[in-house]
Structure 1
Amino acid sequence: MTDLVLALDFGGTKIAAALVDPLGAVVRSSRVPTPAVDPWDAVVSVVSTVVQDSAVAGVGIASAGPVDTVAGTVSPINVPSWRAFPLRSSVAALFPGVPVELAGDGVCMALGEHWCGAGQGARDMVGLVVSTGVGGGLVLDGRPFGGRTGNAGHIGHVVVEADGLPCSCGGRGCAETVAGGPRMVEWARRAGWQAPDDADAALLAAAALAGEEIPLEAFDRAGRAVGMAIAGAAAVCDLELAVVGGGVAQAGELLFEPIRRTLKTHAGLSYLDGLEVRAAELGGEAGLVGAAALVRQVR
């Protein structure tokens, strides 16, 4: 019997697949851009490229959300052609008789870091991806926690500014409206930052590292927002650890210093004294490793 698990990571910008061994190592992988319309054929293509003639013991799927893990459907915000798309059953039809598990990409990122990355040894943790948006997932008592529909831990939509800007989720003042990369650039422009039309969070980080005042403030605002969201999640779920990854987090202490400073102010309950923040270690493979872990944990 094979020990390899097929992991699929479906997002608004890329579709990735990998074969993952029992130790969480990626044996073979492939990724393609997500087509703007009807991405199913791209899913089949990338899966076929990775599987080739290999047998798999199971399939784990990480998907951008919202997801419905009861129905096995996904409705990614950035893929408007998929609303309540039956991703789990569609993938299962490609692998008859093989178990197929589905979870949100934030949950899988957290689970991957918990299994093989910066979250090893933690029992209760949140994983965050601070990138174009702010995603997240929970591992509670050593196991992934998706809640009623599979969307628990979506920390980017914790409100950090009561009168803040509208968010893509339909709410206002979410952490994502402050700490998402494009939102950081928008704020910096409004504050007077002179930058090229194609400026992104990476250019903003470079300007901050060069000592420019407005980019530094943009990262300080983002770190404070993420820190407040972590403090709220930690207080509710009694967490010991937050693992933070994603493109914006690659700026290092520009983001992590204000996160830790904010936790000193906002995580004041005695049971949060040991709350720790660590940088993610698995990079773009966290979701794939976590998707594989979904299968490992139920076998």
Structure 2
Amino acid sequence: MTVLAVDIGGTKFAAAAVAPDGEMLARAEVPLRGPESAGRTLSEVVRRITERVAPGRLDGIGIGSAGPLDPRRGTVSPVNIPAWRDFPLVDALGETLPGRPVRLAGDAQCMALGEWWRGLTGDPAGRSRAMLGMVVSTGVGGGFVLDGVPYVGPTGNAGHIGHITVDPGGDPCPCGGVGCVETVASGPGMVRWAAANGWTGADARALAADARAGHPTAVHAFRRAAGALATAVLTASALFDLDHVVIGGGVAAAGPILFDPLRQAIERNTGLGFLRRLRVDPTSLGRDAGLFGAAALVLLQDSL
């Protein structure tokens, strides 16, 4: 069984054809050029795969999408794609491969599942029993894999760790809340705070470069984000007895300027003894973690 895996993010859509052993037979990525272009972007990224792998060779579709989402109805309403509200994503992609199974989960849930299946703990002997995967990018998302099974909750939206409140008096969040992790630790949130405090750069990539160079405002933006993420990680760890957290996404790609203060904040604020075994690592699969997880929704469906 070879499946079409699709990863819907806030700034790009990716797709791949993935074999049962995890081999990626073809991969494509298309930037999202404005929320209104989401439909065209979806068609383009899928077309790039079906031009290389004949649709007749694809036995199903796995989708990881930014949320919120409704897996029962097959609809998505990504916070950062306002043009898609209750968008029938499962039906739209199902038309590509009529009669084949289609499974949908959150993008960060797929990132977590992909890491569990093919990443740092891909060896069955060393797999985490309780893992959180986080995507820190345009938004902040999360997903749990508990005892080898993605935990998605009654509505399919478990893991929205970016919408834990860390600053009750903070900025409004696109989700409708106030002071969410996402307002502090997402790329746009970090850039917005840095600009309000005198930084004059263009985007999160420039902010990361300036932080590496020692620009004090940029450095503080990353430390501030790390503190918010540490609060979220420790909250989730206390609730779910986590042993491993894996973090990916564009902001996480900044590397030590985020992970060093993040680990320091976690160590500084860890109280309960059972939390001290927690490991926090960057994704080992990079931008492909969500694609592997989306594929696993179909390839591993009998065991999930």
Whether the aligned pair in 2 keeps the contact of 1:179 and 1:226 (CA below 8 Å) is yes
CA distance in 2, matches of 1:40, 1:64: 15
**1:186/1:241 Cα in 2 relative to 1: closer, same or farther (>3 Å)?**
same
CA distance 1:15–1:158, shift in 2 (3 Å)? same
Query: Residue 111 of structure 2: which of 109, 112, 115 is its match?
Result: 109
- % identical aligned pairs: 51
* Pairs within 5 Å for 1:1-299: 3-34=1-32, 36-37=35-36, 39-52=38-51, 53-54=54-55, 55-120=57-122, 121-193=127-199, 195-196=200-201, 199-299=202-302
Q: Is the 8 A contact 2:11 2:138 kept in 1?
A: no
Change over 3 Å in CA distance of 1:190–1:45 after alignment to 2: closer
Give SS of 1:243's match. Answer: strand
Residues 116-150 of structure 1, C-alpha deviations (whole Å, 9 max, x = no match)? 11343112111111112211111111111111111
* CA–CA separation in structure 1 for the residues paired with 2:109 and 2:258: 22
Q: TM-score, normalised by structure 1?
A: 0.92
TM score, norm. by length of structure 2:
0.91
- Where 1:169 maps in the other structure, the secondary structure is coil
Aligned length, in residue pairs: 294
CA–CA separation in structure 1 for the residues paired with 2:198 and 2:8:
37
In structure 2, C-alpha distance between the alignment counterparts of 1:42 and 1:132, rounded to whole Å: 17
Deviation at 1:11, TM superposition (A): 2.6
8 A contact 1:64–1:104 mirrored in 2: yes
Unmatched 5+ stretches in structure 1:
none
Deviations 1:61-102 (A, max 9, x none): 111111111211111222222211221133223323321100
Aligned partners of 1:251 and 1:37: how far apart in 2? 29
Indicate if the aligned counterparts of 1:119 and 1:243 stay in contact, CA closer than 8 A: no
Letter in structure 2 aligned against 1:86: P
Deviation above 4 Å: which 4+ runs of structure 1? none
CA distance in 1, matches of 2:226, 2:121: 20
Greater Cα shift, 33-42 or 259-268: 33-42
Retained in 1: the 8 A contact 2:30–2:44? Answer: no
CA distance in 2, matches of 1:31, 1:159: 32
What is the identity, as a one-letter code, of the residue corresponding to 2:10?
Answer: G
Q: Does the 8 Å contact 2:10/2:138 carry over to 1?
A: no
Shift of 1:38: 6.3
Partner amino acid, structure 1, of 2:215: E
Q: Is residue 10–residue 139 contact of structure 2 (8 Å, CA) maintained in 1? A: no
* Cα deviations by residue, 1:40-60 (Å, 9 ceiling, x for unpaired): 454334323312424112210
Deviates more, 1:255-264 or 1:223-232: 255-264
Report the more deviating stretch, 202-211 or 35-44. Answer: 35-44
**Which segment is superposed worse, 214-223 or 256-265?**
256-265
The letter for the 2-side match of 1:205 is A
Counterpart CA distance in 1 for 2:11 and 2:219 is 28
Structure 2: 5+ residue stretches without partners: none
Which secondary structure does the structure 2 equivalent of 1:298 belong to? coil
- 1:30 and 1:264 mapped to 2: Cα distance? 39
Corresponding letter in the other structure for 2:77: S
Q: Structure 2 vs 1, CA of residues 32 and 209 (structure 1 numbering), >3 Å: closer, same or farther?
A: closer
